[in-house]
Structure 1
């Protein structure tokens, strides 16, 4: 697989205790581990990297990745900037890959292994890394 553009409507940038990048219909969905929190611990996606930018987010994996436009979504410009800063402060983000973006998020089901969720913590990378 090579890098491809993931449509903006297939991504959500969510702020919380840890920033989340929620993907729907991502072509690399099956490459992530099953997402289930065991005793508060999530899987780590060691072979993946995340670069959170103002206008684009890059998710790079061992066999390809995707570019995700950051602007133009429901988070607004300030929401994207806050998310980008949170990724930098936390050294990365939790990537949550779902078969599709739901109308409402049931976080208990998602992090409990439901909704066929996949993903984990992905280390953030700066522009010079």
Structure 2
């Protein structure tokens, strides 16, 4: 299933994050239960972070493709959020061995990690990359 870039936000960091809204995989992802900020692994899911396309594959028929080159990227590695580069996000994902994938009803206007991880509204977790 193709997800439009407008429904995604790639966030750079030590462990990169992919935020999704109106995603066809929302119900297939586990409800996020991040205890003390520790994001659990999404068993049975994988991510292929590439410059042009990012593939998130789940169990059975669950999965999606994002035209990554056209998607927004923000960089939080230097403190304040600024425009980022998809190539850098992909490198972050390779270094981290995957990315945190969070599916929400709508993308947040402000990145409030405590709210995103603790509100119970997000689904997802850490998704390992395929080698």
What TM-score does the superposition give when structure 2 sets the normalisation length? 0.85
Q: Which moved more, 1:101-110 or 1:19-28?
A: 101-110
Aligned to 1:100: 106
Aligned to 1:112: 118
Q: CA deviation at 1:20?
A: 0.3
The answer to whether the aligner puts 1:122 opposite 2:127 as a matched pair is yes
Structure 1 residue matching 2:94: 3-state secondary structure:
helix
Distance in 1, Cα, partners of 2:70 & 2:19: 15
> What RMSD in Å do the two structures reach over aligned CA positions?
1.8
Among 13, 25, 30, which residue is 2:27 paired with?
30
Distance in 1, Cα, partners of 2:37 & 2:14: 12
Given that 2:100 and 2:126 are in contact with CA atoms closer than 8 Å, whether structure 1 keeps it comes out as yes
List gaps (5 residues or longer) in structure 1.
none
Q: Aligned residue pairs: how many?
A: 122
What TM-score does the superposition give when structure 1 sets the normalisation length? 0.86
Distance in 2, Cα, partners of 1:112 & 1:75: 23
Aligned to 1:66: 64
